[in-house]
Homo-oligomer: A and B are copies of this chain.
Amino acid sequence: MKEVPVILFGVGGVGSALLRQIVNGRSPLATRNQIQFNIVAITDSKTMLWDKAGLSDEQLLAAVDAKTQGLPVDPARQARPSEAKIVQKVAEANLDSAIFVDVTAADGLEPVLMQVLNRGYSVVLANKKPLAGAWETAVPFYNHPRLRHESTVGGGQPVIATLRYLLDVNDPIYQIEGQLSGTLGFICTQLDAGMPLSQAIAEAKAKGFTEPDPREDLGGKDVMRKVMILGRMAGWPLEASDIEVESLYTPDLANLSVPDFLGAASQLDAAMKERVDEACVNGQVLRYVAELSEGRGTVGLKPIPAGSPLANMKYISFRTGFYNDEPLLIGGKGAGVEMTAAGVLGDMIGLVREQ
């Protein structure tokens, strides 16, 4: 049985789900994988819990339950040390083979993550930011033997693992394509049914499918980040400017408050209806598709045949040397904190197995 120290950055939805999966699954996880994860530190944006010997399951579950109020503050160390100091603490405690897990959406963690890797520790990212910034700062994180990031794309589905396998066996990647946003998939399906765009947006928001500001989804940036991560893994030194992103809202709506945006969104309806109708006449539906090949890509609405298997599926596909006439496809919903957390857990297990 290997005991593995774990440091968790971020105790939001994914972090909490991960802690619950580890605590509630201790016995089957240990039996199957011969691994015992010792959570030595968990941090949110305000504070941290730390125990060199491993926080108790009770402490972890209490932290999960309390997460809406922030972690319970330990009076002895109310001020949260910076992530860099946490790395230092781990080093001083001689916690060999520790795994640092970043499930935040934080900017600027790159230097800390580099420090972690340089000290010989491992990293698991659900946070896309360190991989999706400028090529120069991101490149050390690609194909690093002690860094994994399954949950950055496909929300826990084995998309990254599949691409890694194709690259391992020397299969050239020709094209990467997919519908990568469940939110935009939902909105597109509503458009098929004749609903105006503004109403589809409101409905998606009401159902909790969007970010608090739906423009985060509608702008396509998150889809762009995902496809950039896949493309960079495939060996293309992509910058954001290499990917053309279509926003589903016009620039004049960018600076409104959220309620004002929702009110003004109806001015997008007529133009969108025209596009939906034109596709419909040709037996097509509009889908928000990401396409990438030879180091250039587009992310945006594309008419595809209404009867195509891909019209009604969230998916990612790889066209490669081996999978050329028909691409290799990973599909299904693949969203939600439980699946994303499972992807992180799978990465943690994989890292231990390969040490």
Contacts and interface: CB of A to CB of B under 8 A. Distances in A.
Interface of A: 21, 25, 28-29, 32-33, 143, 156-158, 161-162, 165, 167-171, 307, 309-313, 315, 317, 322-323, 325-334, 336, 338-339, 342, 345-346, 349, 353-354
A332 B326 contact: yes
Contact of A342 (B157, B322, B346): B322
A33 B143 CA distance: 10
B333 A169 contact: no
A66 B168 CA distance: 28
A91 to B, nearest CB: 26
A354 to B, nearest CB: 5
Contacts of A157: 328
30 contacts: A21-B170, A29-B169, A32-B170, A157-B328, A158-B158, A158-B162, A158-B165, A161-B162, A161-B165, A169-B346, A169-B349, A307-B307, A309-B309, A309-B310, A309-B312, A309-B313, A313-B329, A315-B329, A317-B332, A322-B338, A322-B342, A323-B339, A326-B332, A326-B333, A327-B332, A328-B331, A328-B332, A329-B330, A329-B331, A330-B330
A227 B158 CA distance: 20
A322 B156 contact: yes
Q: Closest 6 A-B residue pairs measured CB to CB?
A: A326-B333, A309-B309, A329-B331, A25-B170, A169-B342, A328-B332
Contacts of A29: 169-170
Given A32-B170, A322-B336, A329-B331, 10 more contacts: A21-B169, A25-B170, A28-B170, A161-B162, A315-B329, A317-B332, A328-B331, A328-B334, A331-B331, A353-B354
B346 A168 contact: yes
